[in-house]
Structure 1
Amino acid sequence: MSLTSSLPRNTIGTTAVSVTALGFGAAGIGNLYRTVADEDAEKALDYAFRHGIAYVDTAPHYGQGLSERRVGANLPTRASLSTKVGRVLDSISPPPPGTERHGFVDGDPFEPRFDYSYDGIMRSFEASTARLKRDYIDILLCHDIGEMPHGDNAAHHTKIFLNSGYRAMDELKAARNVGAIGLGVNETGICLEVLPYTDLDTILLAGRYTLLEQGALDELLPECLRRKVSIILGGPFNSGILVGDNHYNYGAAPEDVVKKAKALGRLCADHGVPLPAAALQFPLAHPAVACVIPGMVSAGQVETNLELFHTDIPAELWNALKHEGLLHEDAPTPQDTKKPVVS
């Protein structure tokens, strides 16, 4: 496999770690919602690496280790990699074929268990490096902390992480087993809660700064700029609603979301631009955003995302989106000059 330099690279925080502006979200090749053949996963990764995508994000949660195994079997040493901690995988008897667990079909024979303690983080990291066949992880993220995954237990888990688990991540970085540390979450509130008590390099924020919603502009993104914390933007299509699917936030899209997505699509069509192209390119205009990582499961999807990433979009579209109230008036757009997070 060879890597090209056709995609721009951005630095993560103040570290030496860099990522391509377009990355590969590897939840899908963990059999998210449906099975993906080993061969198709291999082809998707190979196509991505050969066409300049040199950053992959995975996690133990994705297929209960399956995504990490597939990434580890195909990842070039020069590609940047992020994985996550916060869940420990306990061995179980293999479930019957076709079994779906936690959204993943035919995952590996492990059961995930939340553990944000020092020992839990270290155990998770050690298991991930074995599956990924790497001693060094470029970016290590604390996964799914906060109210959305934990509800009334959120404060309990956050306390354990801040009092124990964060120390493990900090030690791994200090020992140069990890290049950068951060959070991997779907909400802004937990980020604002954790930032004052940690020294993070990045936040993988899924779905909260997209063409559909820009609430992160109010507090989180300015705070990230102030602290020189880079954003890796996951879920740029908001679970599919911005590519013509009816899913939003991993579930059925509510009526108001469907209505806005259709309005965005009509305005994009009026300017001759595919809605997914605008959705993929928009987040990168913000100076805090280093990378956008759509999920991909096939070489065809990789090819499509590369085409969308390179689609020419007229300035008139961004102006029209703001004029129609479909885009936050203060949101930077690709027509604006983007300044680097780290000077």
Structure 2
Amino acid sequence: MLPTRRTILAGAALLPAALQSRAQEARAQEAGPRTPPAGAASEAGLIRRPIPSSGETLPAIGIGTSRRYEVEPVPDKVAPLREAVERFVALGGTVIDTAPSYGTAEDVLGMILPGALRDKVFLASKVSESGREAGAAQIERSFERLRTPVIDLIAVHNLIDPGNNLATLRELKAKTRIRYVGVTVWRDGQFSDLEALMRREALDAVQVNYAIDNRAAAERILPLAQERGMAVMVNVPFGRDRLFKAVQGRALPPWAEEFDCASWPQFFLKYVLGHPAVTCPIPGMAKAAYVEDNLGAARGRLPDAATRAKMEALIDAL
């Protein structure tokens, strides 16, 4: 049986007592004054990264809603997800990513977000239909399902009919119904087409799969995003639970405290955030406890290039 986030969090008990104590002390001191490293807003706040096309900054960890938010849109099923989103926003998070192809996820967010909470969220969705009319109709349904007049970012999902869909998205951006335009992929086999599109089109953002055990995006896509001035959202930063399986029952290495890391999920997310091209990983977060743990990756220090290589070697050896 694959390990769950619950088993990984429980595995924190395997940390040496001294490391646990130091991690607790570091968290207790987060509100104290300290000069933050490059890329960090402050110890107390979340690291923020810019959208290059506008200069707007976003907190460096978001919520992805694939699978985990595909529940029946009724109050009792939505309640724990509402709690997770409310905790996320309370801790300074803003980015929530969804898609019409994620089952009921848009409907669920439409129940959670209307009102004051919506104003605090950077909401991203996608379009995945072929043909100008079908794509436009799907986008309109997203506005209805999400119960919002403005969606911050809509991306062409999995490079589906980018010609027609990007044209529609740019029209909506001109009308200020959306604020940013992007494209997404989720597997390495799409990278050559993604690269060609990134070179051909002016995009505000791309979304790509990238994790410590799946680093292909760092070869060409992430450097190209920097070159072209595109924000990068990262999906499946935990490798669809591959990484949790690899480290099950293992303690964090003592040197993880050198970059303010207190759990394996933070280890994986801090690795991704350690790449300067990355704007915002979007792991799934369906419980408030997961929110609290994941957002810890966007606080304090991040690993430098040498430490990231050390992290890679550790995971590759498992």
TM-score, with structure 1 as normaliser:
0.67
Instruction: Classify the secondary structure of the residue corresponding to 2:233.
Output: strand
Aligned to 1:30: 70
Give 1:268 deviation, angstroms. Answer: 4.1
C-alpha distance after superposition, 1:116-166 (max 9, x if no partner): 322222212211112222211111111123xxxxxxxxxxx5xx432x222
Distance, in Å, in 2 between the alignment partners of 1:324 and 1:29 is: 32
Please tell me the residue identity of whatever aligns with 1:14: S
CA contact (8 A) 1:84 1:141 kept: yes
- Report the 3-state secondary structure (helix = DSSP H, G, I; strand = E; otherwise coil) of the residue aligned with 2:126: strand
1:82 aligns with 2:66: no
Q: For structure 2, which runs of at least 5 residues remain unmatched after alignment?
A: 1-43, 257-261
Tell me the residue number matched to 2:84. Answer: 44
Aligned to 1:286: 275
3-state SS of paired residue (2:49): strand
Q: Is the 8 A contact 1:48 1:299 kept in 2?
A: yes
Report the Cα distance in structure 2 between the residues aligned to 1:66 and 1:227, rounded to whole angstroms: 34
8 Å CA contact 2:49, 2:58 repeated in 1: yes
Q: In the comparison of the two structures, how many residue pairs are matched?
A: 260
Go from structure 1 to structure 2 and tell me whether the alpha carbon gap of 1:322 and 1:84 turns closer, same or farther (over 3 Å shift): closer
Residue number in structure 2 paired with 1:184: 184
1:201 matched to 2:204: yes
Identity of paired residues, percent? Answer: 24
TM-score with structure 2 setting the length: 0.72
How far does the alpha carbon of each residue in 1:10-45 deviate from its partner, in whole angstroms, 9 at most, with x for none?
22231254321111112212239xx98211111111
Note the 1:210-289 alignment, pairs <5 A.
210-244=211-245, 261-262=246-247, 268-269=252-253, 271=255, 274-289=263-278
Q: Deviations over 1:242-264 (max 9, x none)?
A: 233xxxxxxxxxxxxxxxx45x9
In structure 2, C-alpha distance between the alignment counterparts of 1:14 and 1:313, rounded to whole Å = 24
The 3 A distance-change label for structure 1 pair 161 and 309 is closer
The 3 A distance-change label for structure 1 pair 228 and 311 is: closer
- The whole-number CA distance in structure 2 between the counterparts of 1:71 and 1:85 is 21
What corresponds to 1:140 in structure 2? 154
Query: Is 2:212–2:315's contact at 8 Å kept on the other side of the alignment?
Result: no
Match of 2:96 among 24, 38, 56: 56
Which AA in structure 2 matches 1:294? P
Which of 268, 286, 298 aligns to 1:297? It is: 286
Deviation at 1:73, TM superposition (A): 3.9
How far did 1:202 drift? 0.6
Query: How much has 1:52 moved relative to structure 2?
Result: 0.7
Cα deviation digits, residues 154-208 of structure 1 (max 9, x gap): xxx5xx432x2221111112222111111122032331132233211111113xx
Judge conservation of contact 1:60–1:128 (CA < 8 Å) in 2. Answer: yes
Higher share of residues assigned helix = 2
Establish whether residue 66 from structure 1 lines up as the match of residue 107 from structure 2: yes
Q: Which has the higher strand share?
A: 1
SS for the counterpart of 2:213 is coil
- In 2 relative to 1, CA 172–29 (structure 1 residues): closer, same or farther, beyond 3 Å? same
Which residue pairs with 2:167 in the alignment? 167
Could you tell me which residue of structure 1 aligns to residue 139 of structure 2? 125
| Contact kept? 2:60, 2:298, Cα under 8 Å | no
Amino acid at match of 2:183: L
Distance 2:198 2:146 in 1: 28
How many Å separate the matches in 2 of 1:314 and 1:9? 16
Partner of 2:279: helix, strand, or coil? strand
Matched residue of 1:205: which SS? strand
1:109 aligned residue: none
Cα distance change of structure 1 residues 57 and 17 upon mapping to structure 2, 3 Å threshold: farther
Q: What SS does the corresponding residue of 1:56 show, helix, strand or coil?
A: strand
Q: Aligned partner of 2:212: which letter?
A: L
After superposition, the C-alpha distances for 1:260-313 in whole angstroms (9 at most, x for unaligned) are: x45x98684354563322101111122211111110111122122223544767
- Aligned counterparts of 2:139 and 2:224: Cα–Cα separation in 1: 28
Counterpart for residue 9 of structure 1: 48
What pairs with 1:324-339 in structure 2 (closer than 5 Å)?
326=316
Task: Give the ranges of 4+ consecutive aligned residues of structure 1 lying more than 6 Å apart after TM superposition.
Answer: 311-316
Structure 1 residues 37 and 324: CA distance shift in structure 2, 3 A: closer
Asked whether the 8 Å contact 2:125–2:155 carries over to 1, the reply is yes
Q: CA RMSD in A?
A: 3.0
Shift of 1:7: 1.5
Gaps of 5+ in 1: 87-114, 146-156, 245-260, 328-343
**Aligned partner letter, 1:284:** L
